[in-house]
Amino acid sequence: MIKIGASAKIEEVSNKKENQSNVKKKDKKRAVQTVSSTIRPEVVDAKVYKLKSAFVKNSVFITLSYVNENSQVRPIEIFINSKDLTRAPEYVVLTRLVSAIFRRSNDPMFILEELQGIFDPNGGTFKEGKYYHSFYAEIADVIERFFFDVGILERPDARQIEDDGWGKQVVLAKDEGNAGNTNFRICMECNNRTLKTENGCDICMNPDCGYSKWDK
């Protein structure tokens, strides 16, 4: 009697394990089906943006394609092309990861924050009155512009209005001082926007600093 009962319990346990494994396999199949549901059509619409960056030598051309899925615009892939072949593997990794997020995520907006949060150890740069921490932050800016152009995001009002605390609304303008000094970067020594590249050498124009670095 004891042996029969033990064998019956063993069979029940094995049956439970088999049922659990079958359920897990079904769940995995369902997950794979939902993830790979977005299939790239043969013909897609795309927009090409030219990016001139202080972080790279040559201009970069960024191609972003999209599809209309259930009357909704959805990004599907990104390509980055440049004459500088030394960074080609980096561009391939970046474009494949971002393209995978576009295709498999229902809300790919978080990629903007992730790219903007990358910091260049050599310092950032100002361009058109805006500060960029790294080259990837500039790519995030291009992707955000693409979202505005195709209607994925609503374009905000050009004027920002804030309350000054006295019941008055103040219109905030762009920083004109930064806009006229786009060729300078932040110096890692004095933390001022006085670093300039001349003949392959980074030179800080601040007379109190004098930092310089030769890029061999």
pLDDT at position 16? 59
Higher pLDDT, 80 or 15: 80
Q: Which is it for strands 160-163 and 130-132: parallel, antiparallel or unpaired?
A: unpaired
Mean pLDDT estimate for the chain: 75
Instruction: Compute how many other C-beta atoms are within 10 angstroms of the C-beta atom of residue 75.
Output: 22
Residue 197 lies in a domain: yes
205 within some domain: yes
Q: What is the mean pLDDT of residues 111-137?
A: 88
Question: Does residue 49 sit in the same domain as residue 137?
Answer: yes
Residue 141: Cβ within 10 Å count: 19
pTM above 0.95, yes or no: no
> Is 59 inside a domain boundary?
yes
Mean pLDDT of 162-184: 44
How many domains does the chain divide into? 2
% of the chain with per-residue pLDDT over 90: 31
Closest CA to 195 of 185, 182, 180: 185
- The answer on 132 and 85 residing in a single domain is yes
Question: Same domain, yes or no, for 142 and 202?
Answer: no
pLDDT score of 15 = 59
Tokens 């907006």 identify what position?
109
pLDDT band at 183 (very low <50, low <70, confident <90, very high): low
Does 174 fall in a domain? no
**Other beta carbons less than 10 A from residue 116's beta carbon:** 19
Is residue 58, in this structure, part of any structural domain at all? yes
Which pLDDT score is estimated for 167? 42
Asked if the model's pLDDT at residue 123 lies above 90, the reply is: no
Are 66 and 142 part of one and the same domain?
A: yes
* Inside any domain, residue 55: yes
Taking the C-alpha atoms of residue 139 and residue 124, their distance in angstroms, rounded to an integer, is 14
The per-residue pLDDT for 191 is 67
Domain residues for the domain of 106 are 45-150
Residues 115 and 188 in one domain: no
DSSP per position, the chain: -HHHHHHHHHHHHHHHHHHHHHHHHHHHHHHHHHHTT----SS-EEEEEEE--SSSSS-EEEEEEEEE-SSSEEEEEEEEEES-GGGHHHHHHHHHHHHHHHHH-S-TTHHHHHHHT---TT--EEETTEEESSHHHHHHHHHHHHHHHHTSSPPPPSSEEEE-SSS-EEEEPP-HHHHT-TT-B--TTT-SS-EEEETTEEEE--TTT--EEE--
Q: Based on the domain organization, do 113 and 56 belong to the same domain?
A: yes
Tokens of 82: 């440049």
pLDDT computed for residue 124 by the predictor: 86
Look at residue 109 and tell me whether its pLDDT is greater than 80: yes
Among 8-17, 125-134, 144-153, name the one with the lowest average pLDDT: 8-17
Give the model's pLDDT for residue 181: 46
- Residue 180 carries which side chain, given as an amino acid letter? G
> 8-52: per-residue pLDDT in tens?
555 565 555 565 655 555 554 444 343 444 677 888 999 999 999
Tokens of residue 30, six digits: 């369902």
Over 60: is that where the pLDDT of 106 sits?
Answer: yes
Clarify whether residues 115 and 191 are in a common domain.
no
Say what the pLDDT of residue 126 is: 84
Residues 109 and 200 both lie in one domain: no
Are residue 85 and residue 134 in the same domain, yes or no?
A: yes
124 shares its domain with 199: no
* 58 and 123 housed in the same domain: yes
